[in-house]
Amino acid sequence: MLPLVSITLFLPLAGAVLILCLPRPTARTVHGIGIGTAVLTLAGALAMWLEGVSGADFSQVDELEWIPVIGAAYRVGVDGISLPLVLLSAVMFLVAFIFASSLRERPRAYVVLILLLETTAIGTFTALDALLFYVFFEVSLVSMYFMIAGWGHEDRQRAALMFFLYTLLGSLPLLLAILGLYLGSPEPSFDMRAWIADPPLSGAAAMWALIAMLITFAVKIPAVPLHTWLPAAHVQAPTVGSVILAGIMLKFGTYGLIRFALQMTPEAFREAGMVILVFGVVSALYGAFAALAQTDLKRLVAYTSINHMGYVIVGVAVAALTLDPSVRAVALDGAVLQMFSHGLVTGALFFLVGMIQERAHSREMGAFGGLLKTVPLLGWSFILAAFASLGLPGLAHFPAEFQIFLSTLGSVPAAVVVVLGIAIIAGTFLKAIRETFLGEPRQRWHAMPDLSTRELLAVAPLLVLTVATGVAPSWVLDVIHRTTSSLVL
């Protein structure tokens, strides 16, 4: 049988090497290789999806010795939590390459960086060795730093530096936690499966490890009060950078929250569950209120991300707090589906805001008005994505948030106050839609062109998947549920 996971994981890297080896390739060639590689990677991810997951344990595992003396190995595989995220990454990167294909400013380095990011993203979600996970987790930072610093907007150097320092400061505690788990495990090994099956730490040591991991993942998610890097990074990042940052890289945090914090220190997580829940609620509400106050469209979308990721934290915390396995499964189903939906919806929103910015060189809501008449395709796409983001039934976020709220109501009723976030986000987007797209079109935007084929190809797949996930979430939920229903904590 083919090692599907490894092939999918290293295809983008192979594409990057290929581009680097070509002497003076044209922009067309470079973008062609980028898109071709992303298509093949998506095919690999789909093959993994068809192969499926078995349930309690990891499936499609590939293993290879790396540093046997300290028990580090190349171990990759998927379960119901990681497989949807792998598929999401493959889709997001493909549309990112399609969108980026018009870029003419140093396309070679740009495409190589995105390909590198794709390998690190899939690697982070599939790694089953803590050291390997950390390698992918960190390399993604470097690629994103150069992306923001090289192709960002006005104040990109400062934003890139802030992003790099913040997230490096954030991720080093994870290194400490990994070392703690390693030194605490009965035999020296970085095998995450062993750590999940039999958590190596207990008592105070486990709590310290958990705190270290929570710092790391809270920066990445980002959760209030460690979120301040996100708006700055988004505002300065190029559109594709924003899409990948919000669509994929934020999920490193929530994925780690489940995979590491919840599964490797379950006892400590349960003890601290209430505190984590409160952080989740505060994040969700703060993100919503902050979004309401924005006039810059990109910052607005960035803050709604903080809100949506807050729901994920709530879902995971509820899963730890509840004693009923069926409620836990519902909470985790919701949390994982929320990650998947957020990638699609926020990815689409950032693309659309980026398109508006490319046309108007402005992101201020007040500068627009009546755009729906001048650029109807762009306008309706934005409205669809915005409705999905505010949790309209029939679109991707609804089934996810519904399950999170349902399980919260069942175990910690007081936390349901977080539902308020939905109303605020609805108000935020309705205001944005009114100011930007409704009303009388302004004279200066009359010549604004509607979506080109390239832009349509980038956004349409995300919107189609958003509707598909909203109308029939079972195609993703079945995979997720197979793992969450058999999860032992």
Partner 1 sequence: MGHDLALLMPEIAVLLTAVGVLIAEMLRRPRISLSIAAAGLLVATGLTVPLLGTETNVFGGSFRIDALSIWAKLILLPATVLSLLLARNDVGGTAREGTVYSLMCLATFGALVLAGAGDVMFLVLGTLLTSLATFALVAYPDDDSATEAAMKFFVFGSVAGAVMIFGLSYWFGATGSTLLADLARTDAVPLAAILGLVAVVVGLGYKASLVPFHFWAPDAYEGAPLSIAAYLSVVPKIGALFALTQVVSDVPANSGWPAVMAGLAVLSMTYGYLAALVQDNVVRLLAYSSIAQSGYFLLGIVAVGSSELALPSIILFAAAYAAMNLGAFAVVALTGRILSDFNGLGRTRVLMGIAMVIFLLSLVGIPPLAGFVGKFLLFAAAIDVQFTWLAVVAIANSVLSLAVYLRIVVPMYRRGERASAAPHTWPSIVVMITFAATFIIGLAAQFFLAGLVR
**H or E segment to which residue 66 belongs:** strand 59-67
Which pair of structure tokens corresponds to residue 106?
């140093």
Residues 32-71 that bind partner 1 (CB under 8 A): 65-70
Three-state secondary-structure class, residue 170? helix
Pick the stretch among 38-46, 158-166, 244-252, 266-274 that binds partner 1 (CB under 8 A): 158-166
Q: Which of 64, 161, 293, 417 binds partner 1 (CB under 8 A)?
A: 161
Residues 66-95 that bind partner 1 (CB under 8 A): 66-70
Residues 201, 209 contacting (CB under 8 angstroms): yes
The residue written with tokens 């399950």 in the block is: 403
Three-state secondary-structure class, residue 375? coil
Residues 479, 52 contacting (CB under 8 angstroms): yes
Q: How far is the CB of 110 from partner 1 (least distance, A)?
A: 13
Q: How far is the CB of 335 from partner 1 (least distance, A)?
A: 28
Residues 97-156 that bind partner 1 (CB under 8 A): 109, 131, 134-135, 138-139, 141-142, 146, 149-150
Closest to partner 1 by CB, 163 or 286: 163
Which pair of structure tokens corresponds to residue 403?
């399950």
Distance, in Å, from the CA atom of 314 to the CA atom of 396, rounded to the nearest integer, reads 18
Q: How far is the CB of 101 from partner 1 (least distance, A)?
A: 22
The residue written with tokens 């755009």 in the block is: 371
Q: How far is the CB of 379 from partner 1 (least distance, A)?
A: 34
Q: How far is the CB of 262 from partner 1 (least distance, A)?
A: 23
Rg (Cα) of the chain, in Å, rounded? 21
Residues 322, 410 contacting (CB under 8 angstroms): yes
Closest to partner 1 by CB, 139 or 456: 139
Distance, in Å, from the CA atom of 124 to the CA atom of 217, rounded to the nearest integer, reads 13
Closest to partner 1 by CB, 35 or 174: 174
Residue 176 interacts with partner 1 (CB under 8 A): yes or no: yes
Q: How far is the CB of 62 from partner 1 (least distance, A)?
A: 17
Three-state secondary-structure class, residue 74? strand
Residue 472 interacts with partner 1 (CB under 8 A): yes or no: no
Distance, in Å, from the CA atom of 153 to the CA atom of 242, rounded to the nearest integer, reads 12
- What value, to the nearest 5°, has the Cα angle with vertex 34 and ends 32 and 35? 70
Residues 218-247 that bind partner 1 (CB under 8 A): none
Q: How far is the CB of 130 from partner 1 (least distance, A)?
A: 11
Residue 211 interacts with partner 1 (CB under 8 A): yes or no: no
Closest to partner 1 by CB, 94 or 219: 219
Distance, in Å, from the CA atom of 212 to the CA atom of 86, rounded to the nearest integer, reads 26
Q: How far is the CB of 67 from partner 1 (least distance, A)?
A: 5
Q: What is the contact surface with partner 1 in residues (CB under 8 A)?
A: 65-70, 109, 131, 134-135, 138-139, 141-142, 146, 149-150, 157, 161, 164-165, 168-169, 172-173, 175-176, 179-180, 182-183
